[in-house]
Structure 1
């Protein structure tokens, strides 16, 4: 089924025409009525062609559409259109087969979020929809790489609400490298998932740069009263433009990084780029050299090291030195 808003406006306008038994709608009447409906919706003069009207009627009659009983009635040399069934209207119809398949697939995908408290409504909604539209259960055919056992997933719903309401939060937090928990204020901006973990990003009091907090390290979080919210000064896309992952070391600079990739690994890197800035700067029969414009951070180094011996970081030399040091430390551990 066509899903763009203009198509829906056209179908609804035609539905009103075909349902109206007090007036006969010839093709020119339909063109005028639908054009006026589009003009009302868009706020500017709109027109529709005779061909589009006929295509819309064919779609409304079809099995893939609404199976609408649109009939053509001769009156002299002209033809008007109406529903053969006086009681028919689009609003009263069950969904068509295409819509049913889309709905079943959507419910199946939403079901992958079971266990997250803010998606508790999905199971109840799914039962109601399946009963209302007589949908058969789907075999499990789509899965998400999620961690249902991650700590503090129950905070997601509240945090999302606090972000939308622009509430300053008091957070009690304990990082992996701290013995004691700490408490501080943070102005929350958004939630981001990376590598099956959730992170809260915001402006922490006393810091110039954004802070990201892994949710599994948060102890408690509560909204404060009477503290003015500090709005963010850049967008999510701008902040992560030169970053792989979620961390952004203070003072680090974006750099052009060249990486040599062996032929065996290249198809995977080509189909799933390491970063949106990835470009090919050299290609031979045995290897490909790519260039990234990134800020080398923890996730960057982890990703490069995870690719193993099939890659070699060529430059800049200071980034290459970090990779070499990490490899040497790993080898040293295995030499003991």
Structure 2
């Protein structure tokens, strides 16, 4: 017998708690968290009984729903997953699940060609490919770019719900440069994906600057009902990223005219996959092409240019050309014999000896 909607919400809420290793979860704490989640999703303000949560924990431990969750009790008080990598969201799909997904895919395919559903095309193809692979026990026939080891993806749903329900969240965050994590109030306005990395975009506390928080640097998220949510009044993502590559946006810099020479070898790739929507062809010749971009000068633009190696040459502006030249000079210096870096060939010879 399939679990009802409220039960599934409770299981997911318990799972969100137990995957948060930065807090110890007593039965009372789980009851409180589940009650808050049910109120958020269903508007239920009636408290959840201890017996209900205890029964939910037993159901999650069992194989009735295919969870077999490794839930243990520590010091006769705290609930946790014995396997820190476990989550009910990671369990394989059942035959019944696959059947329902197949039906859903068939319904979604009916809408192909309608402009309102153009953005669903990739989702439908991913579902089709996964269902085909599992049901036929064969290799997938569509391989999408993904990073299975990317951290923080479990926070996507929490952040999404915070946006939909217009709720502030308390985020524990540690940037790459910080020695210790920092906890602060955050108002999420939208979610942004770039190069297989997800960002929560919004404002901190009462500040006005827009922040991009990488999900892989988030350690914990808690809802903050006592904090009034700061609405995004007039900032649309499409307009916000209009003049940049990536997520580094300056509200003071104007877009700059960037001229780049692309070798004949790399020209077809750049023409068929433009670096930015503003890309225009300026000149074509036997040695390649010259393209023009209208973008802000930021870290992602530099990284994109550097990724082409000797296939690109910045012609203008002069300050960007100089930055790229300096980076190439530094890179070349690391390969010089007196740089202190041993080549892989030297390492191989030492290993053979």
TM-score (norm 1): 0.60
2:200 counterpart of 1:228: no
- Whole-angstrom CA distance in 2 between matches of 1:220 and 1:177: 18
CA contact (8 A) 1:116 1:153 kept: no
Aligned counterpart, 1:284: 285
Q: Aligned pair in 2 of structure 1 residues 131, 167: CA closer, same or farther (>3 Å)? A: closer
2:318 counterpart of 1:317: yes
Number of aligned residue pairs? 221
Secondary structure in 1 matching 2:153:
coil
Aligned counterpart, 1:66: none
Q: Aligned pair in 2 of structure 1 residues 203, 164: CA closer, same or farther (>3 Å)? A: same
Aligned counterpart, 2:97: 125
1:206, distance to aligned residue in structure 2 (A): 4.4
- Whole-angstrom CA distance in 2 between matches of 1:179 and 1:236: 31
1:156, distance to aligned residue in structure 2 (A): 1.1
Tell me the alpha carbon deviations over residues 33-63 of structure 1, each in whole angstroms, 9 at most, x when there is no partner: xxxxxxxxxxxxxxxxxxxxxxxxxxxxxxx
Aligned counterpart, 2:66: none
Aligned counterpart, 1:165: 165
Aligned counterpart, 2:333: 332
Secondary structure in 2 matching 1:144:
coil
Unaligned runs of 5+ in 1: 1-114
Secondary structure in 2 matching 1:334:
coil
Larger radius of gyration: 1
- Whole-angstrom CA distance in 1 between matches of 2:89 and 2:161: 11
Give 1:41-190 correspondences, 5 Å limit. 125-128=97-100, 137=135, 139=138, 140-190=140-190
Bigger mean CA offset, 263-272 vs 321-330: 321-330
Aligned counterpart, 1:45: none
- Whole-angstrom CA distance in 2 between matches of 1:165 and 1:131: 29
Q: Aligned pair in 2 of structure 1 residues 250, 327: CA closer, same or farther (>3 Å)? A: farther
- Whole-angstrom CA distance in 1 between matches of 2:291 and 2:103: 53
Bigger mean CA offset, 197-206 vs 237-246: 197-206
Secondary structure in 2 matching 1:318:
helix
Aligned counterpart, 2:192: 192
Q: Aligned pair in 2 of structure 1 residues 328, 249: CA closer, same or farther (>3 Å)? A: farther
Q: Aligned pair in 2 of structure 1 residues 119, 290: CA closer, same or farther (>3 Å)? A: farther
Q: Aligned pair in 2 of structure 1 residues 332, 194: CA closer, same or farther (>3 Å)? A: same
Tell me the alpha carbon deviations over residues 158-181 of structure 1, each in whole angstroms, 9 at most, x when there is no partner: 111111111111111100011111
Bigger mean CA offset, 246-255 vs 155-164: 246-255
* Displaced runs of 4 or more, over 4 A: 115-124, 129-133
1:250, distance to aligned residue in structure 2 (A): 6.1
CA contact (8 A) 1:117 1:157 kept: no
- Whole-angstrom CA distance in 2 between matches of 1:192 and 1:119: 23
Q: Aligned pair in 2 of structure 1 residues 126, 145: CA closer, same or farther (>3 Å)? A: same
- Whole-angstrom CA distance in 1 between matches of 2:254 and 2:87: 37
Bigger mean CA offset, 118-127 vs 223-232: 118-127
Q: Aligned pair in 2 of structure 1 residues 320, 129: CA closer, same or farther (>3 Å)? A: closer
TM-score (norm 2): 0.58
Secondary structure in 2 matching 1:208:
coil
Q: Aligned pair in 2 of structure 1 residues 116, 311: CA closer, same or farther (>3 Å)? A: farther
